[in-house]
Chain A
């Protein structure tokens, strides 16, 4: 008997009402049992819709028209409900907090088995097995609301595989995790997929993180590239597909494995191991004919200062005047002395759970310091989830919020500067992730506060939006703002920040010029920070900070512009 394909799509097109163009068109694909596929494409190319068409959410749950045929394990998705299809399909979505639904870990894992009428006496052993495969055996007795992002995602992975579906869909499974969580979930996916043996379809735009140190070898063996019109551009072995589409994917803002990105920019394969690539990178560090960009103006006067501040999460919970009477929670950071100066961008670094967010909230005046004082004018703050900030029903109202005094021209200019003019009448909640971030930054900058604080402002964004956010910060700093942002993305930090503040061991362990901090192996080790390979190489190769910055800038410039170095250098003049 010929093996039935795990997944077969034939000439699939998907249209949504109120959208002119089809989101997917002419997709034909056959996935054998146990085969692993990665779907690549820029934001908006229909990657998520493809997954929804496989689970049956399109067209059953979401109002849409599907033509062509999709079948999972021989079952046509149009003939079966989403729930019926779940017998064959496991799904791991990106948000751990909604991927785990029940109060206890045990119940979460028992549910898929109960639903498939597994005899109760087998369930306990299968829970143990599934949890140990994802490296989460110790979590069995835990309550799900106490899990970290990485733990929650591993539990969700176990729950999606425990009933042994023929097909596993991974929808950006690591995009909302910090580096530690990411590594654990990556290992869990490999181990569990090997043990249960389902066919896998992975959608991911942070390919560099997902692939990790293994590079291209860390990705599924087969790759499919979707174009902007939702059509298949390439389908084949991942290494070959990446090589063929490197320039296009890089230009469209996908995060690529370093080797592929360097191929896209330098035209040379082999990554940092290749002499040609390295010499091309050295060429990127050379100044322009006109002597290179002018020096950034030095930092100005201090606009925000923390003096001997202790940060405590509990201090702000009750009203201020009752604070003394409350049981004071132990401070998570002590003796914090930080100064923010005009025109200077500072990065706040540290592992998860070290209190970076609480420190930012304290500096913003939203959490009272347990000890010490914060001096300076009221700062602005951009939150990690832009939706938490939105107060208005249109983009135009959103940027006006709290600024009734400013002239219409001011807002028009602001919208234009942040490429929001065409979205002015839309609801903030309906924007894409990158648009939401641009809006939240623009709405805060509208207040023209002397300092801007930002909590993981590039988190979850594709590369193009990351670069756009970084350039908005650069502009603000050039205009005289003092900026402090937290980030796990050391490459963005190196490309953007002038200064870095590192928190670990319940206090600030380093505060200095960004490259001095990044070169300090002792500080990085104590803070649990790991340099990405590119940065490692750059720091070893170049003594001058300006050269490193130039290479990073030019790599970023390849994203919105063309793919050749010459054109880049030309366009920068």
Chain B
């Protein structure tokens, strides 16, 4: 009855170059790049950014190709959806049509931009998640982003509860299956109501456990001030260098794109 999901290592790319960087800095950079992407609506700039980000993530995490590809699946699916919707629905110069379907140049351009934007954010998120230990992230947010100790440790305790939930869920489903009325063919019913009952039992058991954990944390003195931090998550010059490099590359690419005439902003939506 082991739950395999609970046995994954804390991060896939532990020990890599990127894993040694400060989690808060990485998270902030992910946020800044994502924010910058919001203002870019041409396909070329995000395409270049994606290629550069992909190269950087591969080089700094050494992720196996398979993991990298699997991580792309949700972003690719989402991006493809956006591309289709825009290509088919955006008005403009018609490249191709068949009956009610038509594809416009503007649609392809904006849709491609949005899809590539998804991939840029996606590859950076993959790099971040694969290289960042959840516990270190919380510790770092506590130290460097002034996240309160009570919230920090509550999240960590919640993380531990999450680890145990798959096993608990399985046991509850088995316990419920014993008394379930079988279908005519002898198989177990899998209706929504059965899931609802199991979810309710899991909720009750988890809320109880959460309450006990909260009491444990309080009995350990969580919330006392002043407090010290034993293992500081380092925030070094290298982290600042990385931040500067990422921002410089981002700015450089956007500027080059502008000079070369590729860059488009919101106007692209209304042209």
Contact = CB atoms under 8 A, between A and B. Distances in A.
Interface of A: 55, 57, 61, 82-84, 86-87, 89-91, 93, 95, 97-104, 107, 110-120, 123-124, 144-145, 156, 159-160, 163, 313-314, 317, 357-358, 361, 364, 366, 378, 380-381, 383, 385, 387-391, 401-402, 429, 443-444, 447
B183 interface: no
A86 B197 contact: no
A327 B164 CA distance: 23
B211 to A, nearest CB: 8
Given A98-B213, A391-B201, A160 B219 contact: yes
Given A83-B218, A91-B216, A98-B213, A103 B135 contact: yes
In the A-B complex, list the 7 residue pairs whose CB atoms are closest, starting with the nearest.
A115-B221, A98-B212, A388-B175, A91-B219, A101-B157, A402-B179, A389-B175
A97 B164 contact: yes
A429 B229 contact: no
Contacts of A112: 220-221
B160 A102 contact: yes
Contacts of B159: 103
B204 A98 contact: no
A99 B179 contact: no
A101 B156 contact: yes
- Size category, B interface: 35 or more
A98 B212 CA distance: 6
Most buried by A among B163, B172, B178, B181: B178
Contacts of A95: 209, 212
Contacts of B153: 101-102, 111
A366 B178 contact: yes
A388 B168 CA distance: 8
B205 interface: yes
Contacts of B1: 313, 357-358, 361
Most buried by B among A83, A101, A110, A361: A101
B115 to A, nearest CB: 34
A366 B227 CA distance: 49
Nearest to A84: B224
Given A313-B1, A402-B181, A444-B179, A82 B218 contact: yes
B227 A114 contact: yes
B259 to A, nearest CB: 49
Contacts of A89: 219
Contact of B209 (A83, A97, A144): A97
B196 to A, nearest CB: 10
Given A102-B153, A110-B230, A383-B171, A86 B224 contact: yes
A83 B222 contact: yes
11 contacts: A89-B219, A101-B160, A101-B213, A102-B156, A102-B160, A103-B160, A113-B230, A115-B227, A160-B220, A313-B1, A378-B182
Interface of B: 1-2, 4, 6, 10, 134-135, 149, 153, 156-157, 159-160, 163-164, 168, 171-172, 174-182, 197, 201, 204-205, 209, 212-213, 215-224, 226-232
A97 B161 CA distance: 9
Contacts of B231: 110, 120
B224 A115 contact: yes
B162 to A, nearest CB: 10
Contact of A83 (B171, B180, B221): B221
A116 B224 contact: yes
Given A86-B224, A114-B227, A358-B1, A104 B135 contact: yes
A198 B86 CA distance: 70
A111 B217 CA distance: 9
Contacts of A83: 218, 221-224
Contacts of A444: 178-179
Given A117-B227, A387-B204, A93 B212 contact: yes
Contact of A388 (B160, B201, B216): B201
Contacts of B135: 102-104, 107
Given A314-B2, A388-B168, A389-B176, 8 more contacts: A82-B218, A104-B135, A107-B135, A111-B217, A163-B221, A380-B178, A388-B175, A402-B180
A83 B222 CA distance: 7
Given A102-B160, A120-B229, A313-B1, A364 B219 contact: no
A388 B205 contact: yes
Contacts of B204: 387, 429
Contacts of B218: 82-83, 86
A387 B205 contact: yes
Given A61-B215, A102-B157, A103-B156, A313 B220 contact: no
A364 B27 CA distance: 48
Nearest to B224: A115
Most buried by B among A98, A160, A381, A390: A98
Contacts of B221: 83, 86-87, 111-112, 115-116, 163
Contacts of B180: 402
A127 to B, nearest CB: 9
B177 to A, nearest CB: 6
A111 B209 contact: no
Contacts of A90: 219
B104 to A, nearest CB: 44
B228 A86 contact: no
Contacts of B171: 383, 385, 388
Nearest to A107: B135
A99 B223 CA distance: 17
Contacts of A118: 228
Contacts of B156: 101-103, 107
A144 B229 contact: no
B2 A117 contact: no
Contact of A114 (B10, B172, B228): B228
Contacts of A116: 221, 224, 227
Nearest to B222: A115
Nearest to A87: B221
Given A61-B215, A101-B217, A119-B228, A145 B164 contact: yes
Most buried by A among B180, B218, B220: B220
Contacts of A98: 209, 212-213, 216
A382 to B, nearest CB: 8
B79 to A, nearest CB: 30
Contacts of B163: 103, 145
Contacts of A429: 204
B172 A388 contact: yes
Contacts of B219: 55, 82, 86, 89-91, 160
Contacts of B228: 113-114, 117-120
A104 B226 CA distance: 23
A33 to B, nearest CB: 20
